């Protein structure tokens, strides 16, 4: 079985050797490594070119300008030829033996697997030893249990990280599943589409991925007005997808909870991290305030979401605690928000 590993690269030279060495030295050799440089301004391109010269499994492609992760992953997907595709980030790395374990699971399955969900480990780096390494393992779905429900609830390991899944390339091609382009938050709707269209989903309950959580490292830890608006757009795309597939009535409660806690809540968290001048942007304040005074954040809605959290499986204690923290933050924001002088009509 040939596995295609697609890696978008943008100014990642300090991490690339660790990432690529962890892949090319895997015991399972039937892989192609597709690296797409997204117009890096450091020496990332030179680094990946050296790997391409030494290993014929490595293929390097370049964007003509900075096109962001969605476009870059789509470009890599178009070049992929393997039965399965794995999207790996250039600053993360793969534990030894991970690929052979994943492929063994696929080969031993009595049916063709469209989507394989795996576990991962958070790594905070030597400078942040106060944070413990945390391994998060997915759990098998129960009989007749819906994967989409768990994706929206963030339960059983069905998160939005695209690297947590091996995707059948046929699944992606058949349903034209691509990443949204020219946006920051491209992964939510992509994973949602894959989860929905996959006829056969299996779980590999071992940590097969090392996720780099160093604070300076992630796009999710940088802040801008554009990213706040883009978070809302990402949830708009998710809603539109659910509606187009006739799923919104079935999953409206879970969508509401996910949007309020991890969409709108993230917007306010990011807003408080902006510099003072950006916080004075009246259009941005009006946008955020419109949600605070709407029915979507009424006292009744908050009570309803709280009940949805409590209804989550008792085995998902960490997820429930995470949701509660997000809800508490949102309630505090609503209570303490200083309304701008912009009048809402």
Q: pTM here? A: 0.94
Q: What is the mean pLDDT of residues 125-137?
A: 70
pLDDT per residue as tens digits for the range 195-220: 999 999 999 999 999 999 886 544 44
pLDDT per residue as tens digits for the range 266-312: 999 999 999 999 999 999 999 999 999 899 999 999 999 999 999 99
pLDDT per residue as tens digits for the range 83-93: 999 999 999 99
Helices (H), the chain: 13-24, 44-54, 68-79, 98-108, 147-153, 169-174, 187-197, 225-244, 248-258, 265-271, 276-279, 282-292, 299-310, 317-336
Count the Cβ atoms, other than its own, within 10 Å of residue 13.
16
């Amino acid at each position: 079985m040939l596995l295609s590993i697609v890696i978008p690269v943008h100014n990642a030279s300090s991490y690339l050797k660790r990432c690529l060495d962890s892949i090319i030295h895997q015991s399972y050799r039937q892989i192609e490594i597709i690296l797409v440089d997204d117009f890096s301004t450091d020496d990332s391109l030179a680094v990946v070119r050296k790997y391409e010269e030494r290993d014929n499994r490595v293929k390097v492609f370049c964007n003509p300008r900075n096109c962001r992760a969605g476009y870059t992953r789509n470009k890599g997907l178009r070049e992929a030829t393997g039965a399965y595709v794995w999207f790996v980030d250039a600053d993360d790395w793969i534990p030894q033996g991970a690929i052979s374990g994943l492929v063994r699971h696929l080969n031993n399955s009595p049916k063709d697997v469209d989507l394989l969900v795996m576990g991962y480990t958070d790594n905070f780096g030597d400078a942040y030893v106060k944070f413990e390494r945390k391994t998060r393992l997915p759990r098998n779905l129960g009989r007749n249990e819906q994967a989409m429900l768990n994706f929206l609830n963030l339960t059983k390991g069905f998160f939005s990280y695209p690297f947590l899944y091996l995707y059948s390339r046929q699944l992606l091609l058949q349903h034209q599943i691509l990443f949204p382009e020219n946006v920051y938050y491209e992964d939510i709707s992509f994973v949602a589409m894959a989860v929905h269209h996959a006829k056969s989903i299996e779980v590999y309950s071992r940590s097969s991925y090392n996720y780099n959580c160093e604070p300076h490292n992630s796009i999710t830890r940088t802040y801008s007005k554009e990213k706040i608006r883009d978070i809302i757009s990402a949830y708009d795309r998710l809603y539109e997808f659910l509606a187009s597939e006739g799923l919104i009535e079935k999953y409206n409660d879970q969508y509401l909870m996910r949007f309020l806690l991890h969409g709108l809540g993230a917007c306010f968290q990011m807003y408080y991290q902006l510099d003072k001048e950006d916080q004075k942007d009246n259009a941005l304040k009006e946008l955020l305030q419109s949600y605070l005074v709407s029915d979507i954040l009424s006292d009744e809605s908050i009570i309803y979401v709280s009940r949805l959290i409590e209804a989550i499986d008792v085995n998902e204690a960490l997820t429930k605690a995470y949701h509660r923290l997000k809800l508490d933050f949102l309630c505090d924001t609503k209570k303490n928000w200083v309304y701008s002088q912009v009048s809402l009509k």
